A and B are shown apart, each in its own frame.
Chain A
Amino acid sequence: MTTNLPPTGPSDLWRPNRALSKWSQRAIVGLFGFFALISVATTVGIVLSLLFEAVEFFKEVPIWRFLTDQQWTPLFSNPQFGVFVLLSATFLTSIIAIIVALPLGLLSAIYLSEYASPKLRRILKPALEVLAGVPSVVFGYFALLLVTPFLQLFIPGLSGFNGLSAGVVLGISITPLVASLSEDAIYAVPDSLRNGSYALGLTKRETILGVVLPAALSGIVASVILAISRAVGETMIVSLAAGQNPNLTLNPFVPIMTMTAYIVQVSLGDTPAGSIAYKSIFAVGMTLFLVTLAFNILSFWYVRKFRETYE
């Protein structure tokens, strides 16, 4: 049969000129690729500049001194570079932050996804996300001027700058992150699991704690790890509220200096470029970068390894 064949002959209908669209397609792909490359190149550039300056620093200060010195006094005439002084402070504020943010964020996530009516959820969720939009410098002076004096009512020996107040406010600032990401994970658990649990006669709380949370665990853990790495890298709150005193201590009531606060101090101070103190901020920055990178890799690995896929 020939009636079903397309019309042949000099008709242009069946062979439109696609040369132009081929070229525009290539141009668009190239453009998108270029923009994708910019972010990758920026990351590579940041890492390389950190690395080069840190190598310069470690030429002058051996790495074992960086790891074993008991003090952090890079601006003194007899400088000491014990990074654990700064690491301990970062550790302290981050631990306090996660002690605050984990219960608050996780319980908020449970309430929002399991208990709140859809109408209430529509109001509460954006309201909580406003908390994530508060600039960190505002959180910083909130900690310094409101939370610290408030805590001093209960803890008489608390100094004006301290790790406790900075850590608590840091925790509040990362609560929306934990809440939002955990809520997504909890919300993604299929209803069939909940219904199965109810069918076995479990109550709502038993369903949430025994079925929903374990099913959403990988997402929850990932959210917490991301929140920790945010807390480790947070700068303004700890610079303003935790002080600028490098103390090797885990006492939350005294002024301390985190890694980020040190970088701020040197950047804002009168340290000449090329001096050892100037180079030290890159070594500290490198340490900070490695810590947050480790957390992010841990989170990535955890999600990959323990993610439960349903349906």
Chain B
Amino acid sequence: MTSLSPQPTKMDKGWDIDQKTALSALGRRNLIDQIVKYISLTAVIFSLSVLAILLIDVLIDGLPVLNWNFLTSFPPGGPKMLALYRRWWAPFG
């Protein structure tokens, strides 16, 4: 007997599934399918709701101070940023 000759396979028992078992298994598989679908939908909704919370938070905190005076005056911490900028360039001349 060479290794090339077909080996007898014992699949008979493994494939012997009656329709009832298959259908009940299918029901369970479909249930898991639905669960996975809604879990992945939850992930999208969660990400988007974080975005919504963030935007609402920014608007609540930001809108009251957003006026013309704010836009035209110097930003807070301006001179400090200028000093940082100057120091950053110091080693290059």
A59 vs chain B, min Cβ distance (A): 16
Interface centre among A105, A115, A116 (most CB of B within 10 A): A115
Assess the B47–A205 pair: CB atoms within 8 A: no
Name A's interface SS: helix
Chain A residues lying within 8 Å of B53, measured Cβ to Cβ, are 146
In the complex the two chains form, what is the Cα distance from A175 to B50 in whole Å?
Answer: 11
B49 vs chain A, min Cβ distance (A): 11
CB contact under 8 A between A205 and B50, given known A104-B43, A111-B43: no
With an 8 A cutoff between CB atoms, is A152 at the interface?
no
Identify the stretch in B7-15, B27-35, B68-76 within 8 Å (CB) of chain A at 4 or more residues.
Answer: B27-35
A150 vs chain B, min Cβ distance (A): 10
Name B's interface SS: helix
Chain B residues lying within 8 Å of A274, measured Cβ to Cβ, are 91
Interface size on B, residues (CB 8 A): 29
Assess the B33–A142 pair: CB atoms within 8 A: no
Assess the A108–B80 pair: CB atoms within 8 A: no
In the complex the two chains form, what is the Cα distance from A175 to B59 in whole Å?
Answer: 22
| Size bracket, chain A contacts | 35 or more
Chain A residues lying within 8 Å of B39, measured Cβ to Cβ, are 107
- Near B by CB (< 8 A), chain A positions 239-292 give 267-268, 273-274
Assess the B40–A108 pair: CB atoms within 8 A: yes
B38 vs chain A, min Cβ distance (A): 9
CB contact under 8 A between A203 and B54, given known A104-B43, A108-B47: no
In the complex the two chains form, what is the Cα distance from A15 to B78 in whole Å?
Answer: 65
A residues neighboring B (CB under 8 Å): 103-105, 107-108, 110-112, 115-116, 124, 127-128, 130-131, 134, 138-139, 142, 145-146, 172, 175-176, 179, 203-206, 208-209, 267-268, 273-274
Q: Enumerate the 9 nearest inter-chain pairs by beta-carbon distance, A residue then B residue, closest first.
A: A107-B43, A111-B40, A205-B33, A107-B40, A205-B36, A273-B90, A108-B44, A131-B51, A108-B43
